[in-house]
Every structure is written in C-alpha cells, then in structure tokens.
C-alpha cells in the first residue's frame, strides 16, 4: 500500500473515532440540561408572569417534555444532528442563529491569538535555547513562569488600566467605535485597534506555554544523534540550529497548538467578557447572567465539537509534516 | 526523609515558594485575628486610596477594606484549591488504577471516558456545572474536580502499567493477595511521587479556575474570594485601580509559589529525571 492511501485510510479511521466522542458529548449535554432546575416551560411561565398548571401541562406536551427520558434523548440527538440547538427564550431567537452571529468575532480573536502566541512562542523559545543559561534565557524563563501564574482576567484589567485609561492608546472595550460609522479601510483600522488588547491578553498564557515547550523541544533535539553527525560533517552551528534542529523541534509545538484549542475557548470567555468583545465567549457570559441554559449548552456543544475537529486536522497535518509517523 | 529535604532545598526557588505559601497559609488561618470584621462589612470612607483613611490597600466603592478581603479570601482560594485537587486526584487514581491494572475491556472503556472528558473545553464545562448546580463552595469544588481528573487518570494508568508486571507484584499474586489489596498497598505507593508532583501543580490550576469562576460571578455569594474582589472591582476600574490590582497580585504570588514548589518536589522526588535533562 502506498503512503498516500495509508494516510487516507488513517484519516477515515480518525473521523470514525471522532463520532462516538461527539455523541457522548451530546448525551452529556442532554443530561446537564435535565439536571438543571426547571425546564423550558418553567422558564416560559416565569417569563409570562402567570400560567395555569393546565396551560403548562399543555406546553410540556407541545415541547415533548412529557415523554420518558430516552425518547426525549432521541429527539434531542435528532435535533442536534440536524444542527438545531434549541431556542433561546431570552433573545427570542434560535440558538444557532445567535451563535452564527457571534462566531466571526471569536474566530478573529482566536486566529490573531494563535498567530501571535505560536509565532512569538517559537521565536522566544528558540532564543532561550540558543542562548542557554545566559541572561536572555533567564529573562525568558522568568517571564514564562510569571505569565503561567497570572489570571487572564486580571491581565486584561491591568492592560485596560495602563494602555487605555492612563495612556489612551487603545479603546477599553467592544469591537468597533459605535459612535463613528466607519467604512472600508477605516473600519479595518478601527477593529484592529480594538483587537490589540484582547489578543495580547489571551495570547500571553499560550505564549508562555509555547516558549517553554519550544525551549525544551530544542534542547531535546540538540541531544540527538543527527546533531552529532551534522557537527562531524563540519556544518556550522548556525546551520545545525536553524536548518536541522529547528525543523524537528517544531513538531511537538504544532501538536500542542491543537491540544490547547479547548483551553483557548475557555480563555476567550474570560477575555471577551473583560473587553466586551462581541463573540461567543461574551455570549456565554451574557447567557450566564440571563440564566439562558439552552444558549450556554449550545455554545458548550459547539466548542466541544470544534476541539474534536481541530484535533483531527492537527493529526492530519502532523502525518504530512513528519514522515516517521506510523499511520497504521 | 532527610534525603528528600536535602534534595528539595537544592532548588532555591522551590524553598522560596514554600516560604511564601507558609506565609499565605498563616495569613489565611489568622484572618479573623488580623481583620476581625466581616470582609463584606462597610468599614470606612469609600474609594480611599491605599495608605489613606486607615486602609493599607484602599477601599472599594462601598467602603469595604480591600486588604481584609484579600486576607479572608486567602482561606477560600487555598481551601478550594486543595480540596478540589484532592477530589480529582482520587477520581483520577480510581480510573487510572483500574484501567492500568486490569487492562483489556475495562481499560478501553475507562480510557474512552477519560478521552471524552479531556476533549471537552474544561473552563466552559466548569462554568456550566457551577451554573447548573448553583454557585456554592461544594459545587465549585465538584466542577473543578470533574474537569481536572483526566490528567491524573492517564498518569496513574501509565504508572500501573509499568509496575504491574514487576516481580514483587507477581510475588503478591502468588501469596494469594486480593487485587484490591495489591493495587492499594503494593502498586499505588510506588506511583506516589509523580502523583504528588502533578497534584501540587493542580492546586495552582484549581486556584486559577476558582478565581476565574468567581470573577464571572460564579463564586459562592456568601464567601469572600480573590476572584470576587476583582469581579466586583472591575466596574470602578477608572476611579479605583487598587480594588482590582491587589487581589490579582495575591493570586499571582500564590500560584507562582505553588508552581515553584511543584518543580522542587519534582527535583526531590524524581531525581533520576533531573539527571537525565
């Protein structure tokens, strides 16, 4: 069998492995929904102010809430598989539409965060490993240690204090200047100015993570036999570092970038609520306050699925990057 | 034991971390001596700057003492950090031990479950659990434990797999010991050092998760905590920067100290690992 068909088969297998995980997550979601006090009808009745028990019974029948649990579970599964995540009674809108509206903002924040964190993390880790045990290494290591221990929301608030309130360089919150109706290039500039602080805040933790990992990965690669061979061939240290070691050291960092997506989503809830960035995290924060469980569960389900998908993509990229990976 | 301490103290940063944590624990224990007043009580002029009106770290918009909040909040953070870690270590040992010891179908099932829990974005899961159970100390502990056990389970499973075929375990089988006794009294003590190291680092993560939850308004409403202080102070960021700043510094110092201790424990308990690097 050629390598490409092997990879093809492997991808298929991994896709199949993802299905039970997603199913399990949907089932967990369903039980969480049932664990919560009161159902949708209680919420609706509360909203209306008054509802007779007969009317509530009628509503339960209408929503299928009088059915036994297994039946409800099947209905829920069917709904989720047809991408129907339920209805948000607070926003009076289907959950998917709400999520869809906010998705772009979160996507933008995450993409810029990943680029910043992975890019600078690789750079700093490389620098620390090359300048091992010098003051540069020490500074980078201490920086990583401290950011590792700092709560995200606090970093965000301190950023606002320093860069928005005192220096006035960046806006405190939101994604656009609501008062000004920018168009075209001005709009892009406006959004990027709003993007700076949330991105730096969210990326700091991952920057520290990737820096530490890149440093460790570089040091591990320096100990390998091929480095000795390269030295014996008379290659310069520069060439060994930037051509041989660097490429191999990048592999574990790529994997981690995939594994960390779940954590990144959690971080974005905090960062978005600090900066009022109108994405999914902010939506989750709002739904928390409005006790809008349907919406919260929808966001949770979507983010879990996102993690499964991203991990799958990373696995596939990894196969292509590293020909040593066994795909059987 | 003496050997352990002599290896631990070689890591100066870890000794410093231990010193800091002991200080914070003392602060938490003596909280009601240092600040006998309820930290939620309004005790002076609102929005006082640090070192004015008798406030060491200033007061918030209602005239609550920030320093008192920090001292009392230390109890909450440390308690939740330790208890949540203990619970999740127990869950992790349970899953990991059974999966590693018995292998086969049990291993498959338990590891699939672990994998699912590892896939779910943990912070959002914790938010959901607390929101559904209603915020309280116990629901926060449960939520943190539920999202953090998979790492321990994987670690314990790996250790059990490595140890279960060693001669002394086979000897125990020959002596007719029960599986449970072998797992608990023979294999588990041999896996304790990596569990302790991972556990110590988990305390730090748990404190960070707790503060994040409290910041979002999911803390126990009746108990002072660092995250709550920051969450409550963010609306007055413009007029009173100190309300948010100092509790954050407290979290930072605590988590940093615990991480340093974790690294020291790693050096002391896994000396071979250190030599390899």
Residues A130, A77, single domain; the answer is no
Per-residue pLDDT tens over the stretch A81-98? 777 777 776 777 788 888
Determine, for residues B121 and A266 on separate chains, whether the beta-carbon distance falls below 8 Å: yes
pLDDT band per the 50, 70, 90 thresholds, residue B63: low
Window 93-122 of A, Cβ < 8 Å to B: none
More confidently predicted of A179 and A98: A98
How many angstroms separate the Cα of A137 from the Cα of each of A140, A215, B274?
5, 9, 19
Residues A72, A115, single domain; the answer is no
User: Would the pLDDT of B274 be above 60?
Assistant: no
Residues A138, A90, single domain; the answer is no
Residue A64: what pLDDT? 67
Q: Does B216 touch chain A (CB under 8 A)?
A: yes
Indicate the pairing of strand A93-94 with strand A87-88.
antiparallel
Residue B51: what pLDDT? 66
The rounded distance, in Å, linking the Cα atoms of A111 and A206 is: 13
Residues A306, A238, single domain; the answer is yes
Three-state secondary structure of chain A:
CCHHHHHHHHHHHHHHHHHHHHHHHHHHHHHHHHHCCCCHHHHHHHHHCCCCHHHHHHHHHHHCCCCCHHHHHHHHHHHHHCCCCCEECCCCEEHHHHHHHHHHHHHHHHHHHHHHHHHHHHHHHHHHHHCCCCHHHHHHHHHHHHHHHCCHHHHHHHHHHHHHHHCCCCCCCCCCCCCCCCCCHHHHHHHHHHHHHHHHHHHHHHHHHHHHHHHHHHHHHHCCHHHHHHHHCCCCHHHHHHHHHHHHHHHHHHHHHHHCHHHHHHHHHHHHHHHCCCCHHHHHHHHHHCCCHHHHHHHHHHHHHHHHHHHHHHHHHHHHHCCCCCCC
Structural domain contains residue A326: no
The rounded distance, in Å, linking the Cα atoms of A238 and A86 is: 57
More confidently predicted of A42 and A32: A32
User: Would the pLDDT of A262 be above 70?
Assistant: yes
Per-residue pLDDT tens over the stretch A114-172? 889 888 888 888 888 888 777 878 888 888 888 888 888 888 888 888 887 778 787 77
Q: Find which of A39-43, A279-283, B31-35 is predicted with most confidence, using mean pLDDT.
A: A279-283
Report, as an integer, the average pLDDT of B127-138: 87
Min Cα–Cα distance to chain A from B277, Å: 8
pLDDT band per the 50, 70, 90 thresholds, residue B275: very low
**Which of B124, B132, B256 is the closest to A149 by Cβ?**
B256
Q: Which of A277, A270, A225, A263 is nearest to A102 (CA)?
A: A277
Among the ranges given (A138-142, B64-68, B98-102, B121-125), the one the predictor scored with the smallest mean pLDDT: B64-68
User: Would the pLDDT of A302 be above 60?
Assistant: yes
Q: Find which of A81-90, B83-92, B121-130 is predicted with most confidence, using mean pLDDT.
A: B83-92
Q: What is the CATH number of the domain that holds A220?
A: 1.10.3720.10
Q: Does A223 touch chain B (CB under 8 A)?
A: no
Residue A39: what pLDDT? 62
Of A70, A95, A120, which closes a domain?
A95
Q: Does A25 touch chain B (CB under 8 A)?
A: yes
Residue B276: what pLDDT? 38
The rounded distance, in Å, linking the Cα atoms of B55 and B63 is: 10
Q: Does B16 touch chain A (CB under 8 A)?
A: no
Residues A172, A277, single domain; the answer is yes
Structural domain contains residue A305: yes
What range does the domain containing A247 cover? 101-321
**Which of B128, B204, B241 is the closest to A300 by Cβ?**
B128
Structural Rg of chain B based on CA atoms: 22
pLDDT band per the 50, 70, 90 thresholds, residue A41: low
Q: Find out whether B8 and B14 touch, Cβ atoms under 8 Å.
A: yes
Tokens 């100066």 found at: B12
Q: Say yes or no: ipTM exceeds 0.95.
A: no
Region of residue A64 (phi > 0: left; psi between -120 and 50: alpha; otherwise: beta): left
Distance of CA A68 to the CA centre of its chain: 36
Residue B153: what pLDDT? 92
3-state secondary structure of B51: coil
**Residues of A in Cβ contact (< 8 Å) with B247:** 154
**Which of A25, A36, A37 is the closest to B116 by Cβ?**
A25
pTM of the model: 0.85
Structural domain contains residue A284: yes
Among the ranges given (A58-72, A250-264, B85-99), the one the predictor scored with the smallest mean pLDDT: A58-72
Distance of CA B168 to the CA centre of its chain: 34
The rounded distance, in Å, linking the Cα atoms of A293 and A299 is: 10
**Residues of A in Cβ contact (< 8 Å) with B230:** 151, 153-154, 157
Q: Does B132 touch chain A (CB under 8 A)?
A: yes
Min Cα–Cα distance to chain A from B100, Å: 21
Per-residue pLDDT tens over the stretch B49-58? 776 666 666 7
Report, as an integer, the average pLDDT of A169-176: 75
Residues A251, A185, single domain; the answer is yes
Q: How many domains does chain A have?
A: 2
Q: Find out whether A271 and A156 touch, Cβ atoms under 8 Å.
A: yes
What is the chain B residue with the closest CA to A145? B256
pLDDT band per the 50, 70, 90 thresholds, residue A328: very low
Q: Does A19 touch chain B (CB under 8 A)?
A: no
The contacts of residue A132 (CB under 8 Å, 6+ apart) are A219
Q: Does A285 touch chain B (CB under 8 A)?
A: yes
Residues A192, A284, single domain; the answer is yes
User: Would the pLDDT of B225 be above 50?
Assistant: yes
Of A95, A122, A147, which closes a domain?
A95
Per-chain mean pLDDT for chain B: 84
Give which of B128, B147, B207, B263 to mutate to test A binding, by max A Cβ within 10 Å.
B128
Structural domain contains residue A328: no
Residues A131, A229, single domain; the answer is yes
Dihedrals φ, ψ of B52, to 5°?
-120, 160
Min Cα–Cα distance to chain A from B187, Å: 31
Residues A221, A161, single domain; the answer is yes
Per-chain mean pLDDT for chain A: 80
Structural domain contains residue A125: yes
Q: Does B227 touch chain A (CB under 8 A)?
A: yes
Residue B273: what pLDDT? 52
Of A95, A128, A149, which closes a domain?
A95
Report, as an integer, the average pLDDT of B223-247: 82
Determine, for residues B217 and A284 on separate chains, whether the beta-carbon distance falls below 8 Å: no
pLDDT band per the 50, 70, 90 thresholds, residue A186: confident
Residues A158, A51, single domain; the answer is no
Q: Find out whether A328 and A6 touch, Cβ atoms under 8 Å.
A: yes
Structural domain contains residue A133: yes
Residues A58, A148, single domain; the answer is no
Per-residue pLDDT tens over the stretch A196-249? 889 888 898 888 888 888 888 888 888 888 888 888 888 888 888 888 888 888
The contacts of residue B152 (CB under 8 Å, 6+ apart) are B88, B89, B91, B92, B93, B96, B195, B198, B199, B202
Min Cα–Cα distance to chain A from B94, Å: 21
Residues A86, A171, single domain; the answer is no
Window 59-78 of B, Cβ < 8 Å to A: none
Q: Residue A18, class by beta-carbon neighbours within 10 Å (0-12 exposed, 13-18 middle, 19+ buried)?
A: middle
Dihedrals φ, ψ of A83, to 5°?
60, 30
Structural domain contains residue A182: yes
Structural domain contains residue A203: yes
């Amino acid at each position: 069998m050629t390598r490409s068909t092997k990879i093809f088969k492997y991808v298929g297998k991994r896709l199949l492995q993802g299905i039970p995980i997603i199913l399990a997550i949907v089932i967990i979601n369903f039980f969480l929904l049932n664990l919560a006090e009161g159902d949708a009808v209680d919420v609706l009745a509360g909203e209306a102010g008054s509802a007779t028990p007969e009317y509530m019974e009628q509503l339960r029948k209408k929503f299928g809430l009088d059915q036994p649990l297994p039946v409800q579970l099947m209905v829920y599964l069917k709904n989720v598989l047809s991408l129907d995540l339920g209805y948000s009674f607070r926003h009076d809108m289907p959950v998917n539409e709400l999520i869809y509206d906010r998705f772009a903002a979160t996507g933008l924040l995450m993409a810029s965060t990943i680029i910043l964190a992975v890019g600078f993390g690789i750079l700093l880790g490389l620098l620390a490993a090359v300048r091992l045990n010098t003051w540069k290494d020490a500074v980078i290591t201490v920086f990583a240690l401290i950011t590792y221990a700092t709560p995200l929301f606090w970093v965000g608030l301190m950023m606002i204090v320093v860069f928005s309130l005192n220096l006035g360089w960046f806006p405190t919150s939101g994604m656009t200047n609501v008062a000004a109706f920018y168009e075209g290039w001005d709009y892009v500039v406006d959004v990027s100015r709003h993007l700076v602080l949330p991105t730096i805040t969210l990326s700091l933790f991952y920057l520290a993570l990737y820096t530490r990992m890149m440093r460790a990965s570089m040091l591990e690669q320096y100990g390998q036999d091929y480095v000795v061979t390269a030295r014996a061939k008379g290659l310069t240290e520069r060439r060994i570092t930037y051509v041989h070691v660097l490429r191999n050291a990048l592999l574990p960092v790529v994997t981690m970038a995939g594994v960390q997506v779940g954590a990144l989503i959690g971080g974005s809830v905090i960062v978005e609520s600090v900066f009022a960035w109108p994405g999914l995290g902010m939506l989750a924060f709002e739904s928390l306050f409005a006790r809008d469980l349907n919406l919260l569960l929808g966001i949770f389900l979507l983010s879990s699925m996102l993690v499964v998908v991203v991990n799958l993509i990373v696995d596939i990229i990894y196969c292509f990057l590293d020909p040593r990976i066994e795909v059987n | 034991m003496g050997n352990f301490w002599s290896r631990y103290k070689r890591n100066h940063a870890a000794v410093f971390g231990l010193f800091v944590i002991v200080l914070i624990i003392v602060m938490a224990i003596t909280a009601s001596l240092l600040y006998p007043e309820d930290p939620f009580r309004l005790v002076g002029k609102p929005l006082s700057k640090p070192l004015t009106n008798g406030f060491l770290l200033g007061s918030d918009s209602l005239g609550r003492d920030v320093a008192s909040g920090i001292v009392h909040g230390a109890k909450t953070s440390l308690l939740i950090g330790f208890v949540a870690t203990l619970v999740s270590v127990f869950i992790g040992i349970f899953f990991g031990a059974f999966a590693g010891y018995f292998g086969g179908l049990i291993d498959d099932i338990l590891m699939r479950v672990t994998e699912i829990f590892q896939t779910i974005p943990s912070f959002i899961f914790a938010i959901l659990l607390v929101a559904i159970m209603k915020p309280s100390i116990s629901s926060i502990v449960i939520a943190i434990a539920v999202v953090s056990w998979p790492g321990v389970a994987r670690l314990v499973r790996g250790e059990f797999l490595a140890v279960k075929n060693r001669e002394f375990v086979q000897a125990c089988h020959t002596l007719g010991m029960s599986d449970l006794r072998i797992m608990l009294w023979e294999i588990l003590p041999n896996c304790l050092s990596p569990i302790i190291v991972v556990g110590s680092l988990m305390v730090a993560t748990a404190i960070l998760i707790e503060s994040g939850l409290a910041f979002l308004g999911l803390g126990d409403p009746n108990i002072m905590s660092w995250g709550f202080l920051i969450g409550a102070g963010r609306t007055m960021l413009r007029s009173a920067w100190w309300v948010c700043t100092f509790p954050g510094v407290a979290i930072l110092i605590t988590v940093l100290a615990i991480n340093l201790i974790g690294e020291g424990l790693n050096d002391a308990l896994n000396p071979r690992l250190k030599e390899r690097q």
